[in-house]
Amino acid sequence: MTSLLTTAQALADFRVPDTIAQRVAACIACHGREGASNNAAFFPRLAGKPEGYLFNQLVSFRDGRRFNSDMVHLVQHQSDAYLREMAAYFASLDLPYPAVSNVSDASAETLARGKTLALQGDASRGIPACTQCHGAALTGVLPGIPALVGLPRLYLSSQLGAWLSNARHALAPDCMSEVGRKLSTDDVNAVAAWLALQPVPDRAKPASSLPGLLPMPCSAMPVSQR
């Protein structure tokens, strides 16, 4: 009886820590421990992404510009202030990236096409290079452009496909929607396959500034940097 009473008292005295880390624990179920996703998973890495980007995506799920039933359920009643606190927490995490596999079932021709689009774009179709916006190392740019390296191929292809099919949106000016409409399915597969094979630089961080002028206005960046 004494043991039971002791156990009951211990349970009564137990308190879940009221910290942001504890409150975003639900995110870990899909995105991985502390937001560092496995490279073979569908879900993207959260750790170290620009705070502005993470905040914008959380708001887009809440406000209907992006749709995923689990994400909508988690954020639909949250305030801007709370979503910004979540974004700041994940942006502050400094965790190593998982090793990138160098094995792909994509053909050499497909990978070459993906590399060209990522690094050079296709001026004849008005498609800018990924590096023009996402940084020379493709590790993202502060405050609002995410990294493209260190992401699973399936996630990359699904999100590029969502821009292509007009299923994903951002606040105006919606630059990725404009780019996405110019991509073909083959383009999407090629870029995703090539990006998924790229090694992540040591201690990868978002760049502090763009490598040059943005090829088009984009809501991800402040007006002063467009």
Binding site for heme c, by residue number, is 27, 30-31, 71, 130, 133-134, 176
Residue type, 61: F
Residue 198 Cα distances to 67, 115, 143, 170, angstroms: 28, 10, 23, 26
Dist CA 94 CA 115 (whole Å): 28
Write out the binding residues: 27, 30-31, 71, 130, 133-134, 176
Look at the block and give the residue holding tokens 């404009």.
Answer: 178
* Residues forming a β-bridge with 169: none
Q: How far is CA 39 from the centre of its chain?
A: 13
Contacts 24+ apart (CB under 8 A), 79-85: 83/55, 83/58, 83/59, 84/51, 84/55, 85/20
Report how far apart, in Å, the C-alpha atoms of 208 and of each of 176, 197, 223 are: 20, 24, 16
Q: What does the alpha-carbon distance between residue 43 and residue 38 come to, in Å, rounded to a whole number?
A: 8
